[in-house]
Structures are given as C-alpha cells and as structure tokens.
Amino acid sequence: MAAFFFGLLLFAMQPPPIPSRPAERGDRGPPPSPTASSPLALNDTGATGHPNGTLKQLPHILIIGVRKGGTRALIEMLSLHSAVAAAENEVHFFDWESHFQKGIPWYLSQMPFALPDQLTVEKTPAYFTSSKVPERIHDMNPGIKLLLILRDPTERVLSDYTQVFYNRLQKHKRYQPIESLLVKDGEINLGYKALNRSLYHLHLQNWLRYFPLESIHVVDGDKLIRDPFPEMKRVERFLNLEPQINASNFYFNKTKGFYCLRDHGRERCLHDSKGRAHPHVAPAILHKLYRFFHEPNRKFFELVGRTFNWN
C-alpha cells in the first residue's frame, strides 16, 4: 500500500509525457500500420526506395534486449554515429504473431529511410526473452549483429516492476506491492515474470543455439549509465564502425541524474520514463534476491566468458 501511494506521489510529479523521440511501442502500444499513401516501392534488391535516393533496408543490427537494460539509451547513443539509421519505435516483428504474419515486406516498411551505406538498427527488448525469436531472426539473416544490453539482474527486476507499476497507474489500475510479487511462502517467487526475465543465462542459451557468441555483443548497462563513452567505443568496434562517437557527445545532467546527449550542438536527455526512482524494498528481501541471482549470474558469466559487477 505504501509503495502504491509512493508511486502515486511520484506519478503526480511527472511532467506530461513529451518524448525527446516518438514514443516507444513497448511502453505505449502497437505501431501504426503502413498507409496506402506511403511512398514505398519494392526495388530489385528487396529494399524499398525513396525518390531522394534513401532506401529502407532490413536491419543489419538488432538490439534484442533486455527490457529495462538501457535499450533506449543504447539506440539513441548509437544514432550519434552518422553511419547508423535507427528505427524510431519498437517493431515487435519477431515476437508478436500478428506482426510476424504480415511478413518481411511489412517489417521492411517499418524501417527508417537510410543512405545506401548506412547500417539500419532496430530495437525490441522483448526479443531476448521470447523463445521463438532467435530462430526467426536467424532465418532472416544468420550474419546479423546482435546487441544485448544487460544490467544487474536485481536492479533490472526493480526497474521492470516500476515500469509496470506506472503503466497500471496510468490506466487507474492498482498494482501489488513489490515484496508480495518477489516472495511467496517465504521463498523467491519463480512465477514472477520480471524475475524470469533476469535469468539471463536461460535466455542466452536459446540464442546460442542459433548464433555464435561472436555475433552477440553484451553491453554493460550499469557502465553505460555511469560512463557511456567507453561502452559506446566498444559497440563501435564490435560493429566495425569508423570511430566517430566521442566524449563530447555526452554530458552529465545533474537534474536528471543521468548522462544526456549532445549532437551537433543540440542537447537532449532521455524521456522522463527513463531513470525513475525504484520502490523501496525491505533489505532482507533485497539480500534474498541478490543471493538468488548469484548462481544464475555465475552460469551467465561462464556462457559469455566474462564477468560483470553484479552483486
């Protein structure tokens, strides 16, 4: 109950949702359908062209997740690079049946117009945890480059809870306090979906059945929050992009408490729904949660041959 009123108070303090970019689909409902008047025409290569010489291409890069890992920050930061054209919204092509059934031409229609030598990137964080998705992406392009941004799994659960909490608040629906979702009969509640999404090793195993580890670059979402520039250099290297993003593209905004972006003199921060306060969780439950993730984390580190500073 206390968490509910705490959220109500925070919610009342939120300014109206005017995003720095168009709204994200994962947060705000399905994408618009292509219109009959859309200036698209399929050319010989299967890409769709525009009279001004730009064209729509299937993605060369996918940000596959994880939900609340920092996926919006990552795609915005990647868009600082002139060789990258990013889809503005989450397309949910491979995970939503209704979209997948529309086929590749529809998927292509959701991509941004890009110059022929630009790389197209799309992000849909739900891809990472959807079991049917890796095979479908592999069928489209087995050589695609995958970016996976992860955060401390406990932090991610709290962030996930916070997002659902605000979504329900917006719909004037109540939501359970986080403690009652995390623990059932004194034990960690494995049935809580947000908890399952943080079992990174389980989901990654599914991807590794279709893609070699070399095709997947794991971005450290905690480091991206604290100091985005070095993480973005690593991303540039993984994508074989000419080094272009630099330290002056980022500045720390004390009011927001996060790094914001500077692009050709224009400064912008992420939408207010990114970087919200998380609910207070009783220390004993928090410790239980950290302990619970210890073994899954170890398995994940083994899979990727790398460790992360997750408690």
10 or 40: whose CB is closer to ligand A3P?
10
Give which of 185, 115, 123, 193 is closest to 160, Cα–Cα.
Answer: 193
Cα angle vertex 10, ends 6, 11, to 5°? 115
Sign of CA dihedral 134, 22, 273, 229: positive
Compute the least distance from the CB of residue 19 to ligand A3P, in Å: 12
Single residue of 7, 31, 70, 134 touching ligand A3P by CB under 6 A: 70
* Between 25 and 56, CB nearer to ligand A3P: 25
Task: Compare residues 114 and 194 and give the one whose CB is closer to ligand A3P.
Answer: 194
* By the rule CB under 6 A, 92 interacts with ligand A3P: no
Candidate segments 113-121, 165-173, 233-241, 273-281, binder of ligand A3P by CB under 6 A? 273-281
Q: Is 60 annotated as a binding residue?
A: no
Nearest to 157 by CA among 273, 278, 299: 278
Shortest approach of ligand A3P to residue 214 CB, angstroms? 24
Catalytic position from the list 56, 68, 145, 288: 68
* Residue 73 is a binding residue for ligand A3P (CB under 6 A): yes
Task: Just list the catalytic residues.
Answer: 68
Residues that bind ligand A3P (CB under 6 A): 67-73, 125, 159, 162, 224-225, 258-259, 270, 274-276
Known binding site: residues? Answer: 68-72, 151, 159, 259, 274-278
